[in-house]
Amino acid sequence: MALELYIPPCIRTPAHPFHLPPWKKPLRICIEGPLVSVQKLLPDVQWHVSDSRFLVFPQPAGPELAKLTYRALYGREVSSQITGDMVVRDEYLGWVMKDRRPLPCIDYYGVTFDHHVPVEDDEDPEVLQINIIEMDDDAGEYANDCLLFTVNPADYTGKKVLAVPRCCGKRKGKTDRFRINSSVVDREGRMHQSKFKERLGPTYMLKYDKDDVRS
């Protein structure tokens, strides 16, 4: 059974302007957290991470997690009739490491999506960072250490998954905007490069690599 994604009211007075954000406000939103928590929200979603060389973007969980976040923030469903209402731009896969090498599995996942972000502000829009907090593995110890309010794990176990905007955590998030937007720019660059190689084709790429790579 899928659990509810729960974003509590802002602890600050007055509330942070992005907690909760106005629906008409252009915003780039990043939500991330432990894979075990994401799986509680999306228990039936498949993951394609067996080979890091051939990854699907976005993972099937990406748009679904973005939709859940959108609903929790705005109290409404994503509209396919509104251009730019929700556009997945990036995702983060936290690979499990062994001897400094990634294993074919992840333990952390995040997705970044745009809401009403205009093309002319595509590289550096305002951002909202949301962290999913897992409590079942430590009885809420981490949550109560990193948040500005106290949580009772019994309120969440088997019922809902806690997700907290940056303003209600102890970390300041001074680099959130740079980090999130830089990652989107990097993603776009990799996608354009991949599409360019596909257009060239394998035979032409062999010639391109041999003759045009700088020495």
Chain-wide mean pLDDT for the chain? 90
Predicted confidence (pLDDT) at residue 197 exceeds the cutoff of 60: no
Q: Which residues contact 208 (CB under 8 A, 6 or more apart)?
A: 200
Compute the distance between CA of residue 80 and CA of residue 103 in angstroms, rounded to an integer. Answer: 37
pLDDT at 194: 58
Q: How confident is the model at residue 192 (pLDDT cuts 50, 70, 90)?
A: low
Percent of the chain with pLDDT over 90: 80
Q: How confident is the model at residue 174 (pLDDT cuts 50, 70, 90)?
A: very high
**Three-class secondary structure of residue 109 per DSSP:** strand
- Residue ranges of domains in the chain: 4-212
Report in angstroms the alpha-carbon separations of 32 from 36, 100, 180: 11, 23, 12
pLDDT (tens digit per residue) in 89-145: 999 999 999 998 889 999 999 999 999 999 877 889 999 999 999 999 999 999 999
pLDDT at 208: 37
Percent of the chain with pLDDT over 70: 88
Predicted confidence (pLDDT) at residue 193 exceeds the cutoff of 80: no
